[in-house]
Structure formats: structure tokens, C-alpha cells
Amino acid sequence: MHFGILGNAKIARTQVAPAIIEAGHQIHAIASRSQEQAQAFADMFGVARCYDSYEVLLADEQIEAVYIPLPNHLHVPWALKAIQAGKHVLCEKPIALDLADLHPLLDAVKHSDRVVMEAFMVCHHQQWQAIHDTILPAIGDVHAIHAMFSYANDDPANVRNVAEWGGGGLLDIGCYTVLAGLWSYGCEPLSVQSVMDIDPRFGTDRLTSALLDFGQGRVLNMTVSTQLAKYQRIVLMGRKGWAELDVPFNPAVEGTRIRMETGGELGTGLEVLLPAQNQYAAMVSAFVGHTESGKGWNNLQQSHALIQVLDKIRMKAHAPVQGVVL
């Protein structure tokens, strides 16, 4: 498949562009607002065409699909333009800022045969399939999930610290922790309680904690931060045992380790070792597979459920949701 890439984002250069090539596909063109940046990006991967206009890239008839790694507030506008140009769309998460932002895209896909995928690479990693197939049955009914994800970034020029562009920890990494709860429990939470610490310089949430009640005694406790030590962990607590993922969202290149105990005694557990996998390449392969089916496909139902929860977390914390001042 011939891909076009909109923007010069780091994740495009370091993860998704190499993944497109590893998955056996071609980067046909790259666009950036700066011709110099577009050319530098193109030179990294031997791409023949580079444009200083996103519109010109979308007009390139040889491009079949576009990858959108632009700042969060530009995801929906350019996804809509890509669909209108007849392209399949692989768009970075979060695909929208909130439910109001998502609705135009939901309407557009109803009338299109183009594939639209929110780029949650974690959904395509074998460790999550192993949890579904092996871990959850072994540890019994899960009633408590603890998820943490943090990194340190107080650079005012970084897009993650620009409030009007959809910056902040909840949208950037909180989406992963909430998705883990939705995926593990297979339903949406009944209620949400949350707190946020807003950075006075940026107006973005630098720490968000939430307790999500999924009913029947099942909860997700999540904390994310953009100004704490680099860390990530998920613990699943079941009636018969527990499982712990050391690096659930950015697995180590040497492979994945899942610790678990099912015997009821501390220190009697085991480790599940999974070989290394490029989850970005797996995501690209899944995306292309959907395009080859000959009919439109999207994972926006998952996006809708996720964004709805993120909106509730912000509102319960009395933090602004895009377009809404509390």
C-alpha cells in the first residue's frame, strides 16, 4: 500500500514510518508545513516525494492511505479531508478531543467506504492477546485494576503542553489506562470519580487520577502524569490470582514479561515471557488488512466509548472539556 504521512511528528519518524516499511508497504510521500523538514524526513526513509502542503499530498492520486500524527486538535479536521479525498485513514490517538469533536467524523464514516482506524498500537501487541486468552482465565474474575503511566516533560514548546492543541496527560496517556479497563472488563464504567492537578503555566493536566466503577464490584484505579518519573505498570487482581505487566504500553525490545500468581501464596508465581514484537508494524498490517476487505471499517465505536469516559473524568475533576467551561 502507498502511504502518505501528514506532518513531521517524532512518532512518525521513530515508530510508524519504520513500521510501514517493516510491514512491507511504501511511504509514497511526506508533507510538512516546512519544505525543509519534509525533505529531511523524506531523506531518512528514501521517500521520493515531499510536499510543503497537506492539501497537495491529499491530492496525490497514487496515495491510497494517510497516516495522521498531527497535534490532537488537528486529527478530526484532517481525517475528514482525507476521507473526502478518497484516502484510507490511520490517525494517531486520541482521534478526537472530546465527543463533540468526534461527532463529525462519526457522521462521515457512515457515508464512506474508506477505512478509518485510531492508531492504538497496544491493541495489536501479543501481550494483550495473551492476557485475554491465558491470563484472565487463570486469575479468575478480575475486580481491581491498577494502572499507572508517567513521564517527565515540562517543555513549553512541546505539543503535549499546549492546552488549546489538546495537550495534557489525560488525552496523551490516560487514554491507554482507560482503554485497558474497557478492554479487560468488556464494558463501560457506571460512574467516575477523579482529581486533576493543572499546571498553571500551561493550563494542561500534569497529573490525573481517577477511580472508575464498572459495577459488580469491579474498579479501575488509574494515575497518569506528564511531570513525574518515567514509569508504567498495570496490575490485574482476580479472585484466584493476580497478573502484573511491567511495561504494558511500550514493551521492551527484548521481549515482554508478565508476572502472575494463581496459587494464593505470595512467592509462588511464575513469569510468562513473550518474544519481541513491533506493535506498530502489527498495527499497520491490521490496518492494511481491513482496507483489503473491500468495505469500510473503523474502530470509532471503541473511540466513542473511550472519549466519553475521558470527558467524564475531566468534568468530575472540574477541569475544562473542549468547548465547555465548568
DSSP label at 62? T
pLDDT tens over the chain, length 326 residues: 999 999 999 999 999 999 999 999 999 999 998 889 999 999 999 999 999 999 999 999 999 999 999 999 999 999 999 999 999 999 999 999 999 999 999 999 999 999 999 999 999 999 888 888 888 999 999 999 999 999 999 999 999 999 999 999 999 999 999 999 999 999 999 999 999 999 999 999 999 999 999 999 999 999 999 999 999 999 999 999 999 998 899 887 778 888 999 876 665 678 888 888 999 999 999 999 999 987 889 999 999 999 999 999 999 997 665 544 33
Catalytic residue among 93, 240, 312, 316: 93
Give the span between the Cα atoms of 235 and 145, in whole angstroms.
6
Assign residue 215 a region: left if phi > 0, alpha if psi is -120 to 50, beta otherwise? left
234 contacts 136 by C-beta, under 8 angstroms: no
Q: How far is CA 67 from the centre of its chain?
A: 14
Whole-number pLDDT of residue 210: 98
Per-residue cell: 63: 496515495
Sheet with strand 242-245: strands edge to edge: 191-198, 205-215, 218-225, 142-152, 227-238, 242-245, 256-261, 270-274
The enclosing domain of 59 has a CATH number of 3.40.50.720
Are 264 and 169 members of one domain? yes
Cα angle at 216 between 210 and 221, to 5 degrees? 20
pTM, two decimals, is 0.94
Total domains, the chain:
2
Give the range of the structural domain holding residue 152, as residue numbers without chain letter: 126-276
Q: Give yes or no: 81 in active site.
A: no
Question: CA dihedral defined by 21, 24, 29, 32, rounded to 10 degrees?
Answer: -40
Are 133 and 262 members of one domain? yes
Q: Beta-carbon neighbour count of residue 107 at 10 Å?
A: 11
The enclosing domain of 193 has a CATH number of 3.30.360.10
Whole-number pLDDT of residue 255: 82
Are 115 and 186 members of one domain? no
In a domain, 80, yes or no: yes
Burial (CB count within 10 angstroms: exposed 0-12, middle 13-18, buried 19+), residue 100: middle
Are 152 and 235 members of one domain? yes
Are 167 and 287 members of one domain? no
Are 271 and 289 members of one domain? no
In a domain, 307, yes or no: no
Burial (CB count within 10 angstroms: exposed 0-12, middle 13-18, buried 19+), residue 130: middle
In a domain, 130, yes or no: yes
Are 144 and 247 members of one domain? yes
In a domain, 133, yes or no: yes
